[in-house]
Amino acid sequence: MIVVAEEIQQAQRDGRGVVALETTLVAHGFPPGEGVEVGLASERAVRDGGSVPATVGVLDGEIRVGLTRDELERFDTSARKLGPRDLAAAVVQRALGATTVGGTLAVCSAVGIRFMATGGLGGVHRGWPAPPDVSADLQALAQTQALVISSGVKSLLDVPATSELLETLGVPVLGWRTETLPLFYAADGGPPVSARVESAGEAARIARAHWELGRGGLLLGRPPDESLDDIEPLIEQALAAAAAEGVHGQEVTPFVLSYLHRESGGRTLAANRDLIAGNARLAGEIAAA
Ligand code: PSU
Ligand code: MN
């Protein structure tokens, strides 16, 4: 059911770093066509970091680990958004399926990949407890022995609540040369991390020690290189628009991201694209270490 590309199998045999990348941000995180470029740039960044990229998605009844450019180009807005619970049905029904962070981690655990990069982890959506919308990314991270490198939790969520829940789940939240969890587009102002790390080697050693203790996943938050510090009012507008239009469930994140990309005149789009590549690069370095 899972097909791992030859280059990735070889890298695993050789003990090289392998970094998983998701396809939901390719299909649903950017305007049509642009997500593919972001995905390809992430793959290059992983290689620049010294590791091999493993982009995950469901195609033609198979869970694919490692996609060609042509295959990646099939991940358009028609793709299902696949969390951990959605993989089996997508395979059996031969659906085109774009994996979220949670869905990708479920595949990582099946094939022994220990690192993944994304833009921002999912988490507790604002408005808890009505309706309780908590991304499956969190439980998948708690259960999977993998280190996820992201620019923290997407700030359209309830970040403090997500941070508390990560503690409850026993997920270490590491800060890349920072004391606070990055707020996706913004570097500062987030909740405290559980430990600050200074180097790729240190992050790798902490991850290994955590796994030797029999624990699950870890999050490493890397601040965006250029911090956008004036986006919160726009996020509130976007969430209000989503509520007014009856957008809910899986559609909230893509709706809000595209609203922000449009209404910020492309500033959030550029920031999101750049932070994903930066996270992929760092993931490549840590996986290699
Ligand atoms: N990071 C981005 N853009 C994205 C995502 C992450 O820069 O679109 C996606 C990931 O696939 C993550 C998902 O798993 O958002 C979370 O969505 P939800 O909150 O609906 O679970
Ligand atoms: Mn949800």
Q: Which of 22, 25, 128 to mutate to test the pocket of ligand 1 (most atoms within 8 A of CB)?
A: 25
Compute the distance from residue 251 Cα to the ligand 2 centre, in Å. Answer: 8
How high is the pLDDT of residue 129? Answer: 77
pTM for the model stands at 0.97
Q: Which of 154, 155, 184, 272 to mutate to test the pocket of ligand 1 (most atoms within 8 A of CB)?
A: 154
| Pocket residues: Cβ below 6 A from ligand 1 | 22, 24-25, 28-29, 100-102, 118-120, 122, 135, 137, 250, 253, 257, 272, 276
Ligand with the closest atom to the CA of 104? 1
Q: What residues does 148 pair with on adjacent strands? A: 116, 219
- Using alpha carbons, list the distances in angstroms from residue 115 to 141, 228, 270: 11, 27, 24
pLDDT 10s digit of each residue in the chain, 289 long? 999 999 999 999 999 999 999 999 999 999 999 999 999 999 999 999 999 999 999 999 999 999 999 999 999 999 999 999 999 999 999 999 999 999 999 999 999 999 999 999 999 999 987 888 999 999 999 999 999 999 999 999 999 999 999 999 999 999 999 999 999 999 999 999 999 999 999 999 999 999 999 999 999 999 999 999 999 999 999 999 999 999 999 999 999 999 999 999 999 999 999 999 999 999 999 999 9
d(CA 273, CA 195): 26
Domain positions in the chain are 2-288
- The number of the ligand 1 atom at minimal distance from the alpha carbon of 136 is 21
Decide: 260 and 282 in contact? Cβ < 8 Å: no
How high is the pLDDT of residue 130? Answer: 81
Q: Which fold does the domain 2-288 belong to in CATH?
A: Indigoidine synthase fold (3.40.1790)
Quick one: which of 11, 14, 30, 1 has its CA closest to 261? 30
> Is 226 assigned a catalytic role?
no
DSSP 135: -
> Is 251 assigned a catalytic role?
no
Residue 165 one-letter amino acid: L
Quick one: which of 122, 78, 112 has its CA closest to 98? 78
267-288 vs 252-263: helix axis angle to the nearest 10? 120
Residue identified by tokens 């990055």 is 182
Ligand with the closest atom to the CA of 261? 1
How high is the pLDDT of residue 140? Answer: 98
